[in-house]
Chain A
Amino acid sequence: MKYLLLLGMLFALGSCITPFEPEVTESQLSYLVVDGFINSQGISTIKLSQSVNLQSNATIPERKAIVYIEQETGPRYQLPETNAGTYVSDQLALNSAKSYRLYIKTGTGVEYVSDYTEVKTTPPIDSITWKATDRGLQLYVNSHDANTAARHYRWAYDETWQFTSAFESLMEYKQKDIVFRKDDIYHCWGTEKSTAIRIGNTVKLSQNIVSRYPLQLLLSNSVKLRYKYSILVKQYALTQQEYEYWEALGKNTENIGTLFDPLPSQVTGNVHCLSKPEILALGFVGVQSETVQRIFVARNELPRSWVAGNGYSYPACSVPDSVIDAQRDEAFKFGRYIPILPIYKGPTNELWGWVAGPLDCVDCRTRGTNVRPDFWK
């Protein structure tokens, strides 16, 4: 018996999972990444960064580069650096009959260009519609174009929603004193940019019409639907080449290693190094205009049966804590604990202590902003 066990253990211990670190040199990992597009009717914003190795969580912006939008046999427009690695053009109106490319000269003097690309004029968004389905709120985009030249589309969106923190704090700790709070840290707005790649085409249709393209699905218990939700949809017309780029890129996300994941693929884009073609650059710079549309969805428009969560975890933000007054400095001076209400005790209503909660449960600014967005209705 013991004997069997011993050998059984040998079997069990025989297998092991060890880190696998392939020999890949650092120079093979650091490529210029170009994120953005040439806006033919407006301001172009290009973000330049460097790719990093897989273990790193850092982002390395590409600073001090010289960036131009160049017209094929024509003028060029500079994009000065605003924030680190962000290059922004003036308001431009490009000639839709011409082709344009992006020219980049990095701080170290390496020159990159994107391929010359024809200008695609994006049709306006007809409407953003939604439907309350069994699973939640499904948002759709609708568009059409009498011009049949641009049949490939990409959409991106910014979502904004109103929310409140778990506890409403009326008090504020200020230099060892606790006073009534003046600013509202209970009502806030959260914002998220789309990360999923949303593309569609009308190639197989006889008319260039996008009808009810499913853009985003919000589960019925989503915190975004608790008070009011808004989505700003941006539409871009693409060349077929760019469409294929986004299609492939969509499959190369960070999710890897599970059974249902797609097989890896190599995606580069249309940016090349001028001086040394073997130096790789990542990203696709398209040339198109952008059309946008925003809608709002309020709680009272949604089915009554839907119960949206408050987005705070249980049990950390379910019941507030209490702090005796003698310990207030210790508790509140680092700002990780926030007083909510005073607690009075006894017949004399003497101050006993404070109802308090962790910063994240009390201050909604940890998850958004308490400044009402300009567009909020």
Chain B
Amino acid sequence: MKKFYVRYLLLLLWLSGFSSYGQVSTSPLISLNLDKATFEQFAKEVEAKTSYRFFFDPTNVQKVAVTVYETAIPLDSVLRRTFKGSNLRFAVDIRNRVYITEGSSIRTELPIGYFRPDGGQVAYEDEPATATQSPRAKARSGGTLKATVAEIGLAGSATGKTATLAGHVRESKSGEPVIGASVYIETPNIGTSTDQFGYYSLTLPVGRHELKIRGIGIKNSKRLIMLNSDGKLELEMEEDINTLKEVVIEAEKDRNVSGMQMGVERLDIKTIKQVPTAFGEADILRVVLTLPGVKSVGEGSTGLNVRGGATDQNLILFNDATVYNPSHLFGFFSAFNPDILKSVELYKSGIPAKYGGRLSSVLDIATRDGNKKKFSGAGGIGLLTSRLTLEGPIIKDKTAFILSGRTSYSDWVLHKLPNSKLKQSSASFYDVNAHISHEINDKNSVYVTAYSSHDQFKLANDTLYKYENLNGSVKWKHIFNNKLYGVLTGAMSRYQYNITSEENLVNASRLQYKIGQTSAQADFNYFYSSKHTIDFGVSSILYDNMPGSLSPLGAESLIIRDVLPHEKGLESALYASDRIDFSPRFSLSIGLRYSLYNALGPRDVYQYLPNVSKSENTITDTVSYKSGQVAATYHGPEYRLSAKYALSDNSSVKFSFNRMRQYIHMLSNTASMSPTDTWKLSDADIRPQVSDQIALGYYRNFKSNTIETSVETYYKVMHDFVDYKSGATLLLNHHIETDVVNAEGKAYGVEVMVRKLTGKINGWVSYTYSRSLVQVNSPATSDVVNGGKYYPSNFDKPHDFTMIGNYRFSRRFSTSLNFTYSTGRPITLPLAKYTIGNATRVYYSERNEYRVPDYYRTDFAFNIEGNHKVQKLAHSSWTLSVYNLTGRKNPYSVYFKSVNGQIKGYQLSVFAQPIPSITYNFKF
């Protein structure tokens, strides 16, 4: 057995050198002169002369002798002759890969296409396109072609030259919608892609068409249709059960170039699962962090800085509910269970008009709907966490649920340790997800999601941190007709934390923070014609923010209770956008969003002297607002524009401009060991943040779209984003406006990415040069930082290099290597001590004048898949990984403390050593 694998691996290693040269579609004829050659020799000869590539187990073909003296004959006739009488079988795929197997079982697992005996053409399957018909397994395995034409509408009922075809694309096994699948015809070139519900709508000329469907995780297919008039076509696609990368890529292979969007990264769960993580569990945020233009402030922190924006400038949506803290254990795990995720989309520029409320990016996370056909489950057991997902139909084909939970037992492990310091420590979390989708009828569907997470954390000191997320959303989708559908969404989010300190009875206290939001929105998609797709909608969000309270704990505590009053605000928006396809080469999307924000009472608002720096000493008056009364109003347009021009079939140029407005701001104290962030709503003193970004990109694919390259450059200006005055106090500040200033920012950069997603070696390399600068200069009020010059923001990390490399030995064995380098983040250093006015003072450098050491890290993972027998109890896999292979002590936080009159700097490295881990995953 062992020997077998060694040989097999060696062979594949050798083969892998060629694998990326695979050509598409033609089946070359071969000319050979061989006498009783071994099969290996034969294969070598053929490979040297043609684009055929052979995959076989040497032990299987030991007894085979090949004799050929012929010119220009098809390969299949040679093979058929050679294998006659043996139990060897062969199959050739679309890339002219020849698979030799014993018996006949491989065919059903082949990724694409089948060898057709007649004529050497690569086979494809045609599925009869009657509504919700399952793929016909018989037709496929037989490899025969049986075309059925789906009639849409009654023959002769055509009323115009065009008709609209609409429906869903779903996976046949689970009934899950397929998001982002392309549905198109080639003559004339008209196409669309499915939305988050798997819904598509296409306006085509009436008549006979060959409809092609390609998408993530499904087999590429075609349907013959006869379009007579408007109609519905539900497409059920067979899931591609292989986790071969080709399939994933194939689906999207020219998206880079031909897609309208720029600055968008779409990750499917398969890509996410391949990247090694600290504790062996797939982590979406960690993968997002490897994308160009995305950075984090520190190790273990999942706060994202997208294109020079602050961590509060990202809108993180989990099934349309806003998530305020997307991480567990201060960022060592992301808050989302990987087993229920369907896709993750990150918009860095060219943000659709539908989204708003944050300056830098939108991270849209969608969960799966649950299996509508049968009951199934998945899970994982790791060193620190375990997770379990169950899904299945409640009413077959109509209603499905998906339920998942994840918990850590790190607490238990810590308590077992023979170290008293660690025994006092604790770290644990859990999260629970529930999602139900119900199809009421053809036109109406309902989706309900609930999510809750809980964390607590205590590191060998007296302070206990706890935080919680609670989210829920309800969506109702209604299809008015083939061209128009609408989605009504109601969502709520709540985030809260508390910090309890009990070590010193006199100072025992609890700090609490809480924010909640309730929102309602209606979104409509109107497929006006094949040239125009119109989106429009309206939304409203009500915020309720409790900025903080400190209360004493225990009878001996001398802490005085201090509660900041609630803040309320209402953010509403109206949007419309039109995507215009002028020609297959040139398309344009224009949109406008208009947002309105009202700061609401009850609240007391301090009035300050005009034209001087706001401080406690310049308060002149207090104005009280009653409940519901508007204390301040801001509004403004947000322009969204993106354009694509295809230079050729495999290169394009894209441009985008967008303006964003943000009414909620995060206040983050990064100078202490553990940051505690609170949010602040815009009010009379704190204006909304506004940003304008222009971005230009060039995209080019090579080698039949197997290698994607892109260069994107952007320039962004940010107005009125929140920065702090020197000496600002952020927590429990009753007049925070005296400590924050509206700063100006600019960010610019170039992002270069090369991505190869096919072949045995795949992955991506990205390099980003970017700057993010801030200026605080209002001499009128003497609010000046660093002399009014531009200075680096907290997350200005000019150089960033990431490499994600995967190497697949076989279907069962694969490895990943991940390398990250970035410039250290800026820091303000205490430099010297001196005495003035009888007290010791600290002299600090200019703000962000210094930097912490550069960050680099290497991770390694090895995945072992269980065997691929179709019928078995559970599919399982093992992941072995080593996080931070080189053991570099990357700083998580750098902070200073006064110890016995000496001020000492400390660096907390969370993963200061290589962290090995092993996880067992299963699926049933």
Q: Which residues of A contact B (CB under 8 A)?
A: 4-5, 7-22, 24, 28-31, 33, 35, 49-57, 59, 156, 193-197, 200-201, 203-204, 244, 247-267, 282-283
Separation of A17 and B511 alpha carbons in the complex (Å): 25
Residues on the B chain within 8 Å of A197, using CB: 837, 839
Q: Decide yes or no whether B148 CB sits under 8 A from chain A.
A: no
B829 near A22: Cβ-Cβ < 8 Å: yes
B832 near A267: Cβ-Cβ < 8 Å: no
Separation of A10 and B410 alpha carbons in the complex (Å): 12
A20 in contact with B617 given A30-B832, A35-B835 (CB within 8 Å): no
Could you list 15 A-B pairs, sorted by A, with CB under 8 Å? Answer: A12-B413, A12-B419, A17-B909, A18-B907, A24-B829, A31-B834, A51-B834, A53-B832, A54-B903, A197-B837, A204-B619, A247-B727, A257-B671, A264-B726, A266-B786
Residues on the A chain within 8 Å of B895, using CB: 256-257
Among A28, A156, A204, residue most surrounded by chain B Cβ atoms (within 10 Å): A204
Q: How far is the CB of A314 from chain B (nearest CB, A)?
A: 16
B617 near A12: Cβ-Cβ < 8 Å: no
A263 in contact with B726 given A14-B915, A52-B834, A257-B896 (CB within 8 Å): yes
Select the stretch in B43-51, B532-540, B840-848, B855-863 that faces chain A: B840-848
Residues on the A chain within 8 Å of B910, using CB: 14-15
Closest 3 CB pairs of A and B: A265-B726, A251-B727, A8-B413
A54 near B413: Cβ-Cβ < 8 Å: no
Residues on the A chain within 8 Å of B459, using CB: 15
Q: Decide yes or no whether B850 CB sits under 8 A from chain A.
A: yes
Residue of chain A at shortest CB distance from B607? A204
Residues on the A chain within 8 Å of B378, using CB: none
A19 in contact with B905 given A31-B832, A193-B838, A204-B609 (CB within 8 Å): yes
Separation of A17 and B904 alpha carbons in the complex (Å): 12
Separation of A5 and B829 alpha carbons in the complex (Å): 39
Q: Decide yes or no whether B625 CB sits under 8 A from chain A.
A: no
A195 near B844: Cβ-Cβ < 8 Å: no
Residues on the B chain within 8 Å of A21, using CB: 905
Q: Decide yes or no whether B836 CB sits under 8 A from chain A.
A: yes
A259 near B726: Cβ-Cβ < 8 Å: no
Residues on the A chain within 8 Å of B836, using CB: 33, 35, 249, 282-283
A12 near B671: Cβ-Cβ < 8 Å: no
Q: How far is the CB of B528 from chain A (nearest CB, A)?
A: 52
Residues on the A chain within 8 Å of B911, using CB: 14-15
A35 near B837: Cβ-Cβ < 8 Å: yes
Residue of chain A at shortest CB distance from B671? A263
Separation of A213 and B768 alpha carbons in the complex (Å): 55
Contact code string B612-633 (vs A, CB < 8 Å = 1, else 0): 1101011110000000000000
A-B contact sample (8 more), CB < 8 A, given A12-B419, A20-B905: A5-B413, A14-B913, A28-B832, A51-B843, A54-B905, A256-B830, A256-B895, A257-B896
Residue of chain A at shortest CB distance from B853? A20
Residues on the A chain within 8 Å of B907, using CB: 17-20
B417 near A263: Cβ-Cβ < 8 Å: no
A204 in contact with B617 given A35-B835, A56-B833 (CB within 8 Å): yes
Residues on the A chain within 8 Å of B905, using CB: 19-22, 54
Q: Decide yes or no whether B71 CB sits under 8 A from chain A.
A: no
A17 near B841: Cβ-Cβ < 8 Å: no
Q: How far is the CB of B781 from chain A (nearest CB, A)?
A: 11
A20 near B906: Cβ-Cβ < 8 Å: yes
A204 in contact with B671 given A248-B727, A254-B833 (CB within 8 Å): no
Residues on the A chain within 8 Å of B904, using CB: 19, 54-55
A254 near B840: Cβ-Cβ < 8 Å: yes
A28 in contact with B833 given A5-B413, A204-B620 (CB within 8 Å): no
Q: Decide yes or no whether B6 CB sits under 8 A from chain A.
A: no
Residues on the A chain within 8 Å of B903, using CB: 54-55, 254, 256
B673 near A257: Cβ-Cβ < 8 Å: yes
A282 in contact with B727 given A17-B907, A31-B832, A254-B898 (CB within 8 Å): no
Residues on the B chain within 8 Å of A52, using CB: 832-834
Contact of A5 among B416, B618, B896, B897 (CB under 8 A): B416
Residues on the B chain within 8 Å of A195, using CB: 837-839
Separation of A15 and B897 alpha carbons in the complex (Å): 19
Contact of B414 among A12, A22, A31, A259 (CB under 8 A): A12
A262 near B727: Cβ-Cβ < 8 Å: yes
A59 in contact with B912 given A17-B907, A22-B850, A51-B843 (CB within 8 Å): no
Q: How far is the CB of B832 from chain A (nearest CB, A)?
A: 4
A266 in contact with B846 given A11-B384, A204-B619, A257-B896 (CB within 8 Å): yes
Residues on the A chain within 8 Å of B615, using CB: 247
Q: Decide yes or no whether B728 CB sits under 8 A from chain A.
A: yes
Q: Decide yes or no whether B894 CB sits under 8 A from chain A.
A: yes
B898 near A255: Cβ-Cβ < 8 Å: yes
Residues on the A chain within 8 Å of B889, using CB: 16, 18
Separation of A249 and B383 alpha carbons in the complex (Å): 49
Separation of A247 and B841 alpha carbons in the complex (Å): 13
Residues on the B chain within 8 Å of A28, using CB: 831-832
Residues on the B chain within 8 Å of A250, using CB: 727
Among B674, B732, B843, residue most surrounded by chain A Cβ atoms (within 10 Å): B843
A11 in contact with B383 given A5-B413, A260-B731 (CB within 8 Å): yes
Contact code string B672-715 (vs A, CB < 8 Å = 1, else 0): 11101000000000000000000000000000000000000000
Q: Decide yes or no whether B132 CB sits under 8 A from chain A.
A: no
Residue of chain B at shortest CB distance from A5? B416
Q: Decide yes or no whether B88 CB sits under 8 A from chain A.
A: no
Separation of A197 and B671 alpha carbons in the complex (Å): 23
Separation of A261 and B733 alpha carbons in the complex (Å): 11
Separation of A16 and B839 alpha carbons in the complex (Å): 33
Residues on the A chain within 8 Å of B843, using CB: 31, 51, 252, 266-267, 282
Q: Decide yes or no whether B105 CB sits under 8 A from chain A.
A: no
Residues on the B chain within 8 Å of A12, using CB: 413-414, 417, 419, 422, 425
Residues on the B chain within 8 Å of A5, using CB: 413, 416-417
Residues on the A chain within 8 Å of B205, using CB: none
Q: Decide yes or no whether B499 CB sits under 8 A from chain A.
A: yes
Contact of B416 among A8, A20, A56, A244 (CB under 8 A): A8
Contact residues, B406-450 vs A (CB, 8 A) = 410, 413-414, 416-417, 419, 422, 425
Residue of chain A at shortest CB distance from B511? A259
Separation of A283 and B837 alpha carbons in the complex (Å): 10
A266 near B912: Cβ-Cβ < 8 Å: no
A4 in contact with B383 given A24-B831, A156-B837 (CB within 8 Å): yes
Separation of A298 and B33 alpha carbons in the complex (Å): 119
Residues on the B chain within 8 Å of A259, using CB: 499, 511, 669, 672, 674, 676, 731
Q: How far is the CB of A253 from chain B (nearest CB, A)?
A: 6
Separation of A20 and B907 alpha carbons in the complex (Å): 5
Separation of A201 and B902 alpha carbons in the complex (Å): 34
Contact code string B712-736 (vs A, CB < 8 Å = 1, else 0): 0000000000001111111110000
Q: How far is the CB of B837 from chain A (nearest CB, A)?
A: 6
Residues on the A chain within 8 Å of B832, using CB: 28-31, 51-54
B909 near A18: Cβ-Cβ < 8 Å: yes
Separation of A15 and B414 alpha carbons in the complex (Å): 13
Separation of A56 and B842 alpha carbons in the complex (Å): 12
A51 near B829: Cβ-Cβ < 8 Å: no
Residues on the A chain within 8 Å of B419, using CB: 12
Residue of chain A at shortest CB distance from B613? A244
Separation of A49 and B840 alpha carbons in the complex (Å): 12
A257 near B672: Cβ-Cβ < 8 Å: yes
Contact of B898 among A35, A257, A282, A283 (CB under 8 A): A257
Q: How far is the CB of B201 from chain A (nearest CB, A)?
A: 51
Q: Decide yes or no whether B134 CB sits under 8 A from chain A.
A: no
Separation of A19 and B905 alpha carbons in the complex (Å): 6
Q: How far is the CB of B861 from chain A (nearest CB, A)?
A: 16
Residues on the B chain within 8 Å of A53, using CB: 832-833
Separation of A257 and B911 alpha carbons in the complex (Å): 22
A204 in contact with B618 given A11-B915, A17-B907 (CB within 8 Å): yes
A262 near B837: Cβ-Cβ < 8 Å: no
Residue of chain A at shortest CB distance from B419? A12
